[in-house]
Amino acid sequence: MTTSQHALNVAMQVPHHFLNGADQAGMGAGRSLIDPATEQVWLDVRDASASQLGEAVKGAKGALERWSGAAPNARARTLTRLADLIEARSDDLAAVESRNVGKPLGQARRDVLRAAEYFRFYAGACDKLNGDTIPLGADQTALTVLEPVGVTAHILPWNYPISTLARGAAPALAVGATVVAKPSELTPLSAVMVAQLAHEAGLPEGAFNVICGAGDIGAALAGHEEVAHVTFTGSVATGRKVMQAASVSVAGVTLELGGKSPVVVLDDADLDAAAEDVARGIFFNAGQICAAGARLICQRRVHQALVAKIRERAEAMQMGNPLDDPALGPLASAQQLARVESFVNRAKADGLTCVTGGQRADRPGYFYPPTIFTDVPADAEITQCEVFGPVLVSQICDTPDEALELANGTAFGLVAGIYTADTTQALRFARAVEAGQVFVNGFLKGGDTVPFGGVKDSGIGREKGLAGLAAYTAPKSIVLNH
């Protein structure tokens, strides 16, 4: 059997929703999932109805006492079992994710293993959530108890469906909160598979629910009065709506939004290392990465040589069916392809210099080749806006100060990188750049135990690492007078 046939066979068995510990068929509108590599329908699914959403939230509320009341080491064992089960099913999960998102199989497998690691990492935190004692004097004792916030909603994007699910659900469950997740309507399957495994691992009925559907279901979930915290990963425009919806019940929000992340290369940098990382940082997953290094900011003396090295790597990337694990898969949807095409076409019409790519691939599927624009002005649309595709823009600077000014010159502030042999320059940049994560001499080489999140329009709140627990924890202060 081919991997493609296998992925389809597994996907056909996946129910489309998981609530209250059981598979459910959708009772809302029907939709077709399109294979991005062939543009053919590969599966028909049905959204959840409004009443199914209500049922999921009610189930999550009902499971709170049992799950949060369990011994912390019992919660830890359950989450560790879930990590083990995800690993054991990683071939199936990766095949389905690869076909659904259009992501090269090796990258999909990596995402699945990352999801398992999130559950393993946060399992380790369950019995270490210590509160504080606060000195108030001899006749008073003050202490804090870390309680779970309650029901948590997780609204997910299509570019990293399984890892964005796990990075929110794992810390929420670790502190004793319960979960209702809504994956993107384009990529619903892996989340439902993880919910089934969570149940198999021993989570109580209702502790981990997945309902599928589009923005209407997402909006209803974000605004549900029983939801205490909404973790949203997606676009800035939708993030604003989610924040508004959550304000009705005064729920907390974590917003992981878009970016236009700068990678600065100073003229004393190791150009081969920088070229390798810049190419990976923008062309990996066909550029559909919130943290993609979409802007190269380079000192004039080395700009031409560096762009040549990046271009060589871009042009060597082979496209192919995601399940054959090529270097580059298709974009995830027709809508995403149209978005990338329109940004690139406007940039070309504005007279910007495109040195490679710049046109949809001549083959079926939503393939778009690695594309590089050079010497692009700071105020160009393609410098300022998130394209969310394999499109790099380079900006030229003369001094490190100018590089910093350009780096901070967009509305976003997710990630930034710098390449230089001068550690003082690197540290000055790292301290002054407006970003939630900064990489020195190794763009995106960090890992999922390092806190992650944005400033400015890139979002609020932090996920990953121990910082990711805070959103799901409500410290209660108790003061005893004696």
Give the residues lining the site for ligand NAD (CB under 6 A).
155-160, 164, 182, 184-185, 214-215, 218-219, 222, 233-235, 238, 241-242, 256-259, 290, 386, 388, 414, 459
> Which region holds residue 342: left if phi is over 0, alpha if psi is between -120 and 50, else beta?
alpha
Those residues whose C-beta lies under 8 Å from the C-beta of residue 139, and which sit 6 or more positions away, are 481, 482
From the candidates 256, 386, 434, 463, give the one annotated as an active-site residue: 256
Q: Known catalytic residue: 298? A: no
Min dist. Cβ of residue 216 to ligand NAD (A): 8
Q: Smallest distance, Å, CB 187 to ligand NAD?
A: 8
| Residues 282 and 293: beta-carbon distance below 8 Å | yes
Distances (CA, A) of 202 to 59, 195, 335, 452: 16, 11, 39, 29
| Strand order through the sheet with 208-210 | 22-24, 17-19, 208-210, 178-182, 151-155, 227-233, 252-256, 459-460
Instruction: State in angstroms the smallest separation of the CB of 387 from ligand NAD.
Output: 10
Nearer to ligand NAD, 307 or 463 (CB): 463
Nearer to ligand NAD, 85 or 289 (CB): 289
Distance from the Cα of residue 482 to its chain's centroid:
49
Least separation in angstroms between residue 156's CB and ligand NAD is 5
The Cα–Cα gap between 292 and 392 comes to 9
Closest listed residue to residue 436, CA positions, set 293, 252, 291: 291
Indicate the residue among 31 and 311 with the shorter CB distance to ligand NAD.
Answer: 31
Q: How far is the CB of 481 from ligand NAD (least distance, A)?
A: 45
Cβ-based nearer residue to ligand NAD, 14 or 403: 14
Buried b / exposed e over 352-389, threshold 16 CB at 10 Å, is bebbbbbebeeeebbbbbbbbbbbbeeebebbebbbbb
Which residue of the set 117, 126, 212, 290 is catalytic? Answer: 290
Is the Cβ of residue 152 or residue 233 nearer to ligand NAD in the bound state?
Answer: 233
97 counts as catalytic: no
**Which are the catalytic amino acids?**
256, 290
